[in-house]
Amino acid sequence: MLLNINHVTEYSYETPVQFSLQRLRLTPVDSAGQTIRDWAVTIEGAKNEVAYTDQYENHVRLVSVEGEHPSVRLIASGTVETRDTDGIFGPASPDIPLWLFLRQTPLTTADKPIEKLVEKLEGDSDLAKLHNLMERLHKTMTFKPGTTSVATTAGEALEAKSGVCQDYAHIVIASARKMKVPARYVSGYLYMPDLENQTASHAWAECYLEGLGWVGFDAANKVCPDERYVRVASGLDYRDAAPVSGMTIGGGRESLAVKLSVASQSQSQSQS
């Protein structure tokens, strides 16, 4: 599938910013399920500082703002060819030890709600238990934007029985690590035929299973990622893979606007 993606993020400030440094993880790379046909990140109102590959093999760009800038506009766009691999991302990187992905973080702590959930999981293998986990979350939780924030933990979202894709991913990660299965957070894009214009990017979890390698689990949609998914960045949790993160000094009240479209090129051509 050929997917055309246009992701615009715009920060506006009440007063000019004194200084801002933002870390961008907006560039997908080739992998088992995707080939990047073309991709560009355009920055308006900020200055490129440096680009590098981080410890999770994400492409990262640092940009700074200094001076009389009332807004910053970030545009990531391009075309990605995707393939269905039944959710299997593949072998672990030889440069990143698997034990790293057993570490709990503040957002993925296996607290009491997570422990109780893991104790109830059914299946004769880790793969079966993780599929059972997706089934249980699909039945008990409601996808509801606005009920959680980027600071909400896996246990808090589970107790609230609501959240967004980020929360579902954190619950899967916390549960898998409790099972001694390495797990990581993945940010990216999801093509939804009935919703070309979206308000946010997507996120899911990947778990490392012997014999299969890294396998994706999108509990928010109860599926393993297929050709509708574009993978951009990964890490221990949201904080390692967020599309944009950083710090700002001055500027007063900050407002954020996101415009995202993910369209199938074949569909676009057939409709033109």
Beta strands across the sheet bearing 71-82: 34-44, 71-82, 2-13, 254-264, 197-198
What's residue 267's pLDDT?
56
For the cut 80, the answer to whether the pLDDT of residue 67 exceeds it is no
Find the helix packing angle between 126-140 and 112-120, rounded to 10°.
120
Q: Which one, of 183, 185, 19, 167, lies nearest residue 98 by Cα?
A: 183
Token duo for residue 86: 């039944």
Element (H, E) at 140: helix 126-140
Residue 70 or 95, more confident: 95
Domain locations along the chain? 2-265
**Residue 271's pLDDT band (cuts 50, 70, 90):** very low
What percent of the chain shows pLDDT beyond 90?
82
255 pairs with which residues across the strands?
A: 12
Which run of H or of E encompasses 159? Answer: helix 154-160
pLDDT in the model for residue 217: 98
pTM of the model: 0.94
pLDDT of 270: 41
Question: Is the pLDDT confidence value at 252 over 80?
Answer: no
* Residue type present at position 181: V
Instruction: Please write the tens of the pLDDT for every residue from 95-151.
Output: 999 999 999 999 999 999 999 999 999 999 999 999 999 999 999 999 999 999 999
CA distance linking residue 230 with residue 7, whole number of Å: 13
Mean pLDDT of 230-245: 97
How do residues 182-231 score in pLDDT, each as one tens digit?
Answer: 999 999 999 999 887 888 899 999 999 999 999 999 999 999 999 999 99
Spatial strand order in the sheet of 229-235: 88-90, 213-217, 202-209, 183-190, 229-235
Structure token digits, residue 177 = 């690590």
CATH of domain 2-265: 3.10.620.30
Query: What span, in angstroms and rounded, lies between the C-alpha atoms of 31 and 99?
Result: 22
